[in-house]
Structure 1
């Protein structure tokens, strides 16, 4: 999501797009395209196996009429962003508060193709997005982090659930569920090391399942170990000293891809407005 992150992603994009990619200490066990289809409209009912025995530390069920500003900020505050409402040139979208909508007990982070003149940073942007983060509001090291969500379908869409450090360093970064709509690819994994020597432990899976129903996406984080879960099933594990031990916080955003790789930006086939829908965020300690 940062400028440095986008550059690091580009280094290995061709190899990662060919198949599920494993590097370093990572082990893949299943893909999003292999996960069971959700039978309920949402996935709020059952506690995920990875959370059992842990204590709920922080959550938002999005039951209010507006975003709880005690838990969330709509301004970006991390390395590599060009301003408080724009990530960097890998994105085509500018974050605006009106694209963060709560309705019927759900968060809707909306992407629109209505150009906007932004001030932070100044410029004209072709698309708008919804962005929220728990920076300075909630952060912890370790535990189990989970959302229940439905991703939008469409070329050039780039919504994600990710974690970055409270101390504004980068890397590390934990990508729990990062959706590239152009290629119907879900990326999960860990960025570690120091720029420009960034190490990526990544897993890719493919298929339209994330857009066709509600699914749980989570990460169980313990000393020296990260395991990514989809619908309670472990899909990928990273082990080793590269696993971070510093407190991190939640980022949820919609948005659009701007570059020519990974299937390219939106085109005339992309339906706007669209939404990255989230039923809940729950973090266990």
Structure 2
């Protein structure tokens, strides 16, 4: 049985059709009440092909717990639940995909990047021992690279990077951002914190740290931003990978808190890590009231990739995919966080607010060696300097 999208009407207004555009940000499932007694429901109807819902066979149904686009160049993992009469079951059925390269173990489906890069949608079909079947479609996102730096030279590429806010210090920090805050060698970027006494604006500092960005050199809106990085085991200092919007005279927004909201996201922290966080790291979206320019809210999660990744001395890809309706955060192939948002919003006057383009930023900043430091007390001493936050490559995609 198939039902055209355009024939599905809103109960509150039968003249209005529900016409989804894609399964990521629109209606992707449909349940139909049996109105002659008002108590029963049919099986779930799913998007099966463009323009139609299709019914599962009877009450046996498979569904995708959460769709996500995955990181470019990495496999993507998904979880499928199979239900009989609405109750999850773990046996009495088989799962098969329409491509032999797709791996299925239990209810976990791994779609290799060799499939995803072709833009080929994966269809996983659950078949019961009695012959009932239900299929799930996992859309594949095909990416185009828009920015790439492998740091293969002996200096930063000046067409891509510059020191961010040089000679700037925050609050009670014991350091400031030095113009020579980095090193490019042996195929990697090293952001450096150094022990050295300098005087800046009449104040004596014992340390310098640093940040670089693509501001005024590379920007885009939406898409994927990802970098491979590794950390030394220090607390009291924080290594970050961020997105900030272009300034345009005042703080802009990358996206908004909802379709009618005064809050715009003015900073995306893809990762902030210090040894005090252990196996986890901070993922944060900061929202400002775009009328008052006051910091008002955050979306925040302590990302928890596989244990040991932050300590194993290997480079790991940390990234975000931003769509018009969601932000998906990753560590390698692992999805570690998801937030919803709106790409545009209506302000109080009914005008549509649009986001600005964003640029990428790496930072390695020290805090004071006291309990006010949100990334912990220092676990290093002067003999450990220079401290290093290392980046193997950085990429962006659309």
Please tell me the TM-score bracket, short chain as reference.
Answer: 0.7 to 0.9
1:224 and 1:240 in contact (8 A); partners too: yes
Match of 1:218 in 2: 319
SS in 2 for 1:173: strand
User: SS of the counterpart of 1:202?
Assistant: strand
SS at match of 1:126: strand
Whichever structure has more strand as a proportion of its residues is 2
Structure 1 residue 191: deviation in Å? 0.8
Q: Gaps spanning 5+ residues in structure 1: where?
A: 1-28, 30-45, 77-83
Q: Which runs of 5+ in 2 are unaligned?
A: 1-65, 67-71, 77-115, 118-141, 253-264, 345-353
SS state of the match for residue 182, structure 1? helix
CA positional deviation for 1:197: 4.5
Offset from partner CA, 1:54-75 (integer Å, 9 cap, x none): 1100111101111111111113
Higher helix share: 1
2-side partners of 1:165 and 1:141: how far apart? 9
Aligned equivalent of 1:178:
272
2:73 to 44, 47, 68: 47
1:236 corresponds to = 337
TM-score if structure 1 supplies the norm length?
0.73
1:166 aligns with 246
2:124: which partner in 1? none
Partner of 1:279: 392
Q: Give runs of aligned pairs for residues 125-274 of structure 1, distance below 5 A.
A: 125-167=205-247, 169=251, 171-184=265-278, 185-194=280-289, 195-205=293-303, 209-212=309-312, 213-241=314-342, 245-258=355-368, 260-261=371-372, 262=374, 264-266=376-378, 268-269=380-381, 271-274=384-387
The Cα of 1:112 is off from its aligned counterpart by: 1.7
**SS at 1:146 equivalent:** strand
Distance 2:343 2:73 in 1: 29
Q: Give distance in 2, aligned partners of 1:179 and 1:96.
A: 21
Once the two structures are TM-superposed, the CA of residue 268 in structure 1 deviates from its matched residue by 4.9
Query: Aligned-residue CA RMSD in angstroms?
Result: 2.6
Residues 230, 310 of structure 2: 8 Å contact kept: yes
Equivalenced residues, count: 232
Mapped partners of 1:242, 1:201: distance in 2: 16
Contact 1:145–1:218 (Cα < 8 Å) also in 2 = yes
Q: Which segment is superposed worse, 261-270 or 51-60?
A: 261-270
Contact 1:114 1:128 in 2 (8 A): yes
Cα deviation 1:148-197 (Å, max 9, x = unaligned): 00012112011100011112516510010111233435101211132435
Q: Which one scores higher on RCO, CA 8 angstroms, separation ≥ 6?
A: 1
Displacement after TM superposition at 1:130 (Å): 2.7
Change in CA separation of 1:203 and 1:98 when aligned onto 2, cut-off 3 Å: same
The higher radius of gyration belongs to 2
How far residue 263 of structure 1 moved from its aligned partner, in angstroms, is: 5.1
